[in-house]
Structure 1
Amino acid sequence: MSYSVKLRSVLTAGLLSVSCIAMAEAASVDDLGKSLTPVGAERAGNADGTIPEWAGGITTPPAGWTVGQPRVNPYAGDAKLFSIDGSNVDQYKDKLSEGQIALIKRYPGYRMDVYPTRRSCAYPERVYERTKANVAETKMDESGHITAGYGGFPFPIPTTGWEVIQNHRSAYRGYGVISSPAMAVMQGGDRYILNVGDQVSYTPQYDPKTTSFADTKGFRGKFIYTQTQPAASVGGVLLVHEYYNGRKESWGYIPGLRRVKQAPNAAYDNPVPGQDGLRTFDQTFMFNGDGDRYDWKLVGKKELYVPYNAWALKDQKLKLKDIVGPDYPNRDLIRYELHRVWVVEATVKPGIRNVLPRRTFYVDEDSWTIVLADLYDTKGNLWRTQENSLYVASELPACVTAADFYFDLSAGRYIADNMILGNATENYLAGASVDGERFTPSSLRQTGMR
Structure 2
Amino acid sequence: MNMHKKLIGAGAMALTLMSASVMAAVSPEEAARLNKDLTPLGAERAGNADGTIPEWTGGLTKAYAPFDENGSLADPFADEKPLFTITAQNYEQYADKLSEGQKAMFKLYPETYSMPVYPTHRTATVPQEVQEQTFANATSVDTVRGGNGLKNYKHIGSTPFPIPQAGVEAVWNHTVRYRGGSTKRTIIQATPTTSGSFSAVKFQDEFTFSDKVTDFDGNLNNLLFYFKQRVLEPARLAGNVLLVHETIDQVEQPRMAWVYNAGQRRVRRAPQVAYDGPGTASDGLRTSDNFDMYNGAPDRYDWKLVGKKEMYIPYNSYNLYSNEHTYEDIIKAGHIDPQYTRYELHRVWEVVGTLKEGERHIYAKRVMFLDEDSWQASVIDHFDGRGQLWRVAQAYNMHFYPIGTPWYAAETLNDLLAGRYLVLGLQNEEKIGYQFGFEATTKDYTPAALRRSGVR
Q: TM-score, normalised by structure 1?
A: 0.90
Q: Which of 297, 300, 312 is the equivalent residue of 1:293? A: 300
Tell me the amino acid that sits aligned with residue 288 of structure 1: N
List aligned pairs for 1:73-112, cutoff 5 A: 73-107=75-109, 108-112=111-115
Call closer, same or farther: CA 1:343–1:441 in 2, change over 3 Å: same
Q: Distance in 2 between matches of 1:333 and 1:276?
A: 25
Q: Distance in 2 between matches of 1:204 and 1:25?
A: 28
Contact in 1 for aligned 2:229/2:242 (Cα 8 Å): yes
Q: Distance in 2 between matches of 1:193 and 1:353?
A: 32
Q: Deviations over 1:39-72 (max 9, x none)?
A: 1000000000000000101111544644525411
Three-state SS of the structure 1 residue aligned to 2:168 is helix
Q: CA deviation at 1:26?
A: 12
Call closer, same or farther: CA 1:274–1:64 in 2, change over 3 Å: closer
Q: CA deviation at 1:272?
A: 2.3
Three-state SS of the structure 2 residue aligned to 1:233 is coil
Which residue in the other structure is 1:123 paired with?
Answer: 126
Identity of aligned residues (%): 37
Q: Distance in 1 between matches of 2:432 and 2:150?
A: 32
Contact in 2 for aligned 1:179/1:424 (Cα 8 Å): no
Residue 255 (structure 1) aligned with residue 262 (structure 2): yes
Q: Distance in 2 between matches of 1:209 and 1:342?
A: 36
Q: Distance in 1 between matches of 2:431 and 2:372?
A: 30
Q: CA deviation at 1:318?
A: 2.0
Which residue in the other structure is 2:4 paired with?
Answer: none
Q: Distance in 1 between matches of 2:88 and 2:49?
A: 28
Call closer, same or farther: CA 1:323–1:359 in 2, change over 3 Å: same
Three-state SS of the structure 2 residue aligned to 1:353 is coil
Call closer, same or farther: CA 1:208–1:133 in 2, change over 3 Å: farther
Q: Distance in 2 between matches of 1:28 and 1:264?
A: 41
Three-state SS of the structure 1 residue aligned to 2:170 is helix
Contact in 1 for aligned 2:142/2:151 (Cα 8 Å): yes
Q: Distance in 2 between matches of 1:273 and 1:244?
A: 22
Contact in 1 for aligned 2:65/2:402 (Cα 8 Å): no
Contact in 2 for aligned 1:182/1:421 (Cα 8 Å): no
Which residue in the other structure is 1:15 paired with?
Answer: none
Which residue in the other structure is 1:218 paired with?
Answer: 222
Contact in 1 for aligned 2:413/2:421 (Cα 8 Å): yes
Tell me the amino acid that sits aligned with residue 153 of structure 1: T
List aligned pairs for 1:275-314, cutoff 5 A: 275-314=282-321
CA-based RMSD of the aligned residues comes to: 2.1
For these two proteins, the number of residue pairs brought into alignment is: 423
Contact in 2 for aligned 1:169/1:288 (Cα 8 Å): yes
Which residue in the other structure is 1:383 paired with?
Answer: 390
Runs of 4+ displaced beyond 4 Å: 24-27, 63-67
Q: Distance in 2 between matches of 1:67 and 1:125?
A: 26
Q: Distance in 2 between matches of 1:65 and 1:419?
A: 17
Residue 401 (structure 1) aligned with residue 430 (structure 2): no
Tell me the amino acid that sits aligned with residue 104 of structure 2: A
Three-state SS of the structure 2 residue aligned to 1:159 is coil
Q: Deviations over 1:261-303 (max 9, x none)?
A: 1113211122325322211111211111111111000000000
The answer to which of 294-303 and 420-429 deviates more is 420-429
Give 5+ residue unaligned stretches, structure 1.
Answer: 1-20
Which residue in the other structure is 1:171 paired with?
Answer: 177
Three-state SS of the structure 1 residue aligned to 2:441 is coil
Q: Distance in 2 between matches of 1:136 and 1:100?
A: 37
Q: Which of 159, 184, 191 is the equivalent residue of 2:165? A: 159
Residue 134 (structure 1) aligned with residue 140 (structure 2): no
Which residue in the other structure is 1:320 paired with?
Answer: 327
Contact in 2 for aligned 1:271/1:281 (Cα 8 Å): yes
Q: Distance in 2 between matches of 1:302 and 1:30?
A: 24
List aligned pairs for 1:236-255, cutoff 5 A: 236-246=240-250, 247-255=254-262
Q: CA deviation at 1:449?
A: 2.5
Q: Distance in 1 between matches of 2:159 and 2:383?
A: 29
Q: Distance in 2 between matches of 1:229 and 1:354?
A: 30
Call closer, same or farther: CA 1:64–1:348 in 2, change over 3 Å: closer
Which residue in the other structure is 1:354 paired with?
Answer: 361
Call closer, same or farther: CA 1:441–1:136 in 2, change over 3 Å: same
Residue 417 (structure 1) aligned with residue 421 (structure 2): no
Tell me the amino acid that sits aligned with residue 62 of structure 2: T
Q: CA deviation at 1:27?
A: 7.5
Which residue in the other structure is 1:198 paired with?
Answer: 204
Q: CA deviation at 1:203?
A: 0.8
Contact in 2 for aligned 1:396/1:428 (Cα 8 Å): no
Q: Distance in 1 between matches of 2:352 and 2:87?
A: 27
Q: Distance in 1 between matches of 2:28 and 2:308?
A: 15
Which residue in the other structure is 1:14 paired with?
Answer: none
Q: TM-score, normalised by structure 2?
A: 0.88
The answer to which of 437-446 and 301-310 deviates more is 437-446
Residue 230 (structure 1) aligned with residue 234 (structure 2): yes
Q: CA deviation at 1:316?
A: 1.1
